[in-house]
Amino acid sequence: MINITLPDGSTRKVESGTTAHDIALEISEGLARNVLAAEVNGEVWDPQREIHSDASLKLLTWNDDAGKNTMWHSSAHLLAEALEALYPGVKFWVGPPIEHGFYYDVDFGDQTFTDKDFAAVEQKMLELAKAKNPFIRKEISKADAIALFEAKGDEYKLDLLEGLEDGTITLYTQGNFTDLCRGPHMPHTGFVKAAKVMSIAGAYWKGDESNKQLTRVYGITFPKKQELTAYLELLEQARARDHRKLGKEMDLFAFSDKVGQGLPLWLPKGAELRSRLEDFLKEAQRKAGYQGVITPHIGNKELYITSGHYAKYGADSFQPIQTPSEGEEYLLKPMNCPHHCEVYKARPRSYRDLPVRFAEFGTVYRYEQSGELHGLTRVRGFTQDDAHIFCTADQVKEEVSNVIDLVLYIFKILNFEDFVVQVSLSDPENPEKYIGSDENWEKAERAIQEVAEEKGLNTIVALGEAAFYGPKLDFMVRDAIGRKWQLGTVQIDYNLPERFELEYVGADNSKHRPVMIHRAPFGSMERFVAILIEHCAGKFPLWLTPEQVKILPISDRFNEYAEGVSKVLENHDIRALVDDRSEKVGKKIRDAELEKIPYMLIVGESEAAEGTVSVRKQGEGDIGGLTVEAFAERIRSEIAEMLKKED
RNA sequence: GCCGAUGUAGCUCAGCUGGUAGAGCAACGCAUUCGUAAUGCGUAGGUCUGCGGUUCAAGUCCGCAUCUCGGCUCCA
């Protein structure tokens, strides 16, 4: 007999060899029907696998991430089975679960597979699912496994086998399909009630761009049909908020083939939105003790040789600009840090001056791979809300703390409520990868972690993810429909102060090296605006939106009164326009609603007579009449309320 | 950069197996003067991404280039 401990702390005595499925059955038949996998002593197992020693057990269903992953991993095998049935001779590499569904990397050989073939594959998958074929686990010796896949002529599985140790190799079979796989899998294929092949794409074998490309087939499955429908609706919703679509519809930005790939053009409304964000951050930074600096868009190549960026990125960047002077070369600046180092060096610094914080909305140019460009989130010319803090090692903690406060303030004002903080530290196994003294690293890593903890941030620590020049802290936000984005970043840097020989005179009258902190709360204006658009689906907060109010006269006779209202609002710094087209008010309302203008003011006979406006809020409808002054006051206080969230 | 798909009016899209382009919305004009999500009529707008090729004839077929999109790789 063995003891099984369940998550609620209760213990069951069962025969050795009992499976998780058996235990689920003891609890309830309904539960047993839904168990996809089981966590046995912290390891995810097949529910059918026999347990032979005391263990802690957690039954996993569709509601657990690990349960979902198991089903999707099994679904990848189901996909493979369907593909093998329809395309005899195809070869498979790997098929893992991903955040939404799974994929399988497939070598179709001479056969073609296009999106027109998806439906047939989906049908086959469902047919195979209906058969409720069990997933059968089999341990196999390495020699037998090699023989098996050699017979099949499957070079991919043979390659996988090379990396595996004898004694740990398992095969899984469902129906007619057998795959080399560590598992675990759900009990049988019947759990899949809905299947969709989402897309195909090329993917390098082993992720190496010098290898051949396989066809990556993406799919997703669900235990209920309606969950698939809901998922497809969510995707539809995401498409509707896509910043590329909204940016075009709302006249915020554009691209031009003539100007060049990945070089955004900010249209008047987008420019206005952006500069309002910049002003907002500038004001917050001014209060936080930053000083603005301005540096040129190009820099002598020597600058980047000193910084080390030329050696690392020179070949993949916009190439140097020649001058009439022989041998003289300039680079479009790919980052602001080297310039700011030179700002620091413009005069000798004393420990009494530190910390100094140089801020600049610095436009930089990076030659991103063409296939990498994406709307405003990945471009070749963009403006960082950059700043560099130069301080002593002892000041790092407080400075990081202040930066975090600034980022949190911004998130609060802009309603990014759901975020985690990733702390990237050095890899303890490979200390030689990093520059800077052990003492300083330890100080900085401790400082970052302590600050994160003191602020009660939801933190994940990523060992080995630090940059070679220092540890960092990144904010990952979740937008309104649950997608994750990386926004603000704080990075500690021991490298550039060294390379630029930055110094300050200490209290001991000798020279010391400052620590440099890079930080960008937005990341870049382009990226941030893109994420903001998607987060709020184009309905910007009142204080940010380019057009706050549209005045809609009932007929041309009231255009004059409407203009008067507009003037009054203008005097209150409210951005209002009159829709003086000769259209019915219903049409004007519809257009203003679609333009996502927060307030519509309908004016006609009675309003003109009484000096009032009839107020309509976007998405909410008519909210009654107010005098013009009262409306202006309402807007003013609404905005004040939004910006007042300071701690 | 690589794999694949795509490019038709300002926008969203039709255009079957080759026979020199069409709709809705937007724009413009006229009429209408209207009360909370679309007034009517009319006008104008296109080297069908570009360059070559096949053909009596190319938006349609082929090649190359380019852009965009989905991924991969990359992201100082």
A412 is catalytic: no
A388 is catalytic: yes
Contact A475, A389 (CB under 8 A): no
pLDDT value for A238 = 85
Rounded to whole angstroms, how far apart are CA atoms A161 and A149? Answer: 9
SS (H, E, C) A338-371: HHHHHHHCCCCCECCCCCEEEEEEEEEECCCCHH
pLDDT value for A647 = 46
Interface confidence (ipTM) of the complex: 0.93
Rounded to whole angstroms, how far apart are CA atoms A569 and A300? Answer: 49
Residue A241 CB neighbour total at 10 angstroms: 19
Q: Which of A475, A454, A471, A455 is nearest to A463 (CA)?
A: A471
Task: State which CATH number among 3.40.50.300, 3.40.50.800, 3.40.190.10, 3.40.50.2300 fits the domain covering A549-643.
Answer: 3.40.50.800
Tell whether omega for the bond before A471 is within 30 degrees of 0, i.e. cis. no
Any atom of strand B under 7 A from CB of A317?
Answer: yes
Any atom of strand B under 7 A from CB of A551?
Answer: no
| CATH level 3 topology of A2-61 | Ubiquitin-like (UB roll) (3.10.20)
Any atom of strand B under 7 A from CB of A201?
Answer: yes
Compute mean pLDDT per 10 residues along chain A, 647 residues long, and list them: 85 86 86 88 87 87 90 93 89 89 88 81 91 89 88 86 83 89 89 90 84 88 91 86 92 89 93 96 96 96 92 87 92 95 96 96 93 92 96 94 95 91 87 81 89 91 86 89 85 92 96 95 95 93 95 94 95 94 93 94 95 95 95 96 73
Cβ-count burial of A245 within 10 angstroms (0-12 exposed, 13-18 middle, 19+ buried)? Answer: middle
Say how far residue A198 (Cα) sits from the centre of its chain. 20
Can you say whether the dihedral through the CA atoms of A556, A561, A566, A567 is positive or negative?
positive
pLDDT value for A402 = 96
CATH class of A66-238: alpha beta
Q: Say how far A460 CA is from B31 C1', in Å.
A: 67
Among the residues of A389-437, which ranges form H helices? 396-413
Q: Say how far A258 CA is from B12 C1', in Å.
A: 24
Task: State which CATH number among 3.40.50.720, 3.30.365.10, 3.90.1150.10, 3.30.930.10 fits the domain covering A253-297+349-536.
Answer: 3.30.930.10
If you search the block for the tokens 């960047």, which residue do you land on? A317
Residue ranges per structural domain of chain A: 2-61, 66-238, 253-297+349-536, 549-643
At residue A84, the 3 state secondary structure works out as helix
pLDDT value for A28 = 86
Rounded to whole angstroms, how far apart are CA atoms A627 and A633? Answer: 10
The one catalytic residue in A77, A380, A388, A519 is A388
Can you say whether the dihedral through the CA atoms of A412, A416, A420, A422 is positive or negative?
negative
Q: Say how far A257 CA is from B50 C1', in Å.
A: 12
With CA of A619 and C1' of each nucleotide, the nearest comes out as B37
With CA of A375 and C1' of each nucleotide, the nearest comes out as B68
Q: Which amino acid is at A640?
A: A
Locate A256 and state its tokens: 């031009």
Q: Say how far A376 CA is from B8 C1', in Å.
A: 27
Phi, psi of A317, rounded to the nearest 5 degrees: -110, 175
Give kind and range of the element (H or E) at residue A27.
helix A20-27
In this structure, the strands spanning A356-365 and A291-292 are: parallel
Locate A237 and state its tokens: 């919703």
What residues form DSSP beta bridges with A59? A38
The one catalytic residue in A472, A527, A535, A550 is A472
Rounded to whole angstroms, how far apart are CA atoms A187 and A135? Answer: 6
Phi, psi of A467, rounded to the nearest 5 degrees: -75, 160
Contact A505, A511 (CB under 8 A): yes
Any atom of strand B under 7 A from CB of A282?
Answer: no
Cα end-to-end span (Å), chain A: 59
CA distances from A442 to A52, A112, A394, A428, A513 (A): 45, 55, 12, 11, 17
* Strand B nucleotides with an atom less than 7 Å from a protein beta carbon: 1-5, 11-12, 27, 30-39, 66-76
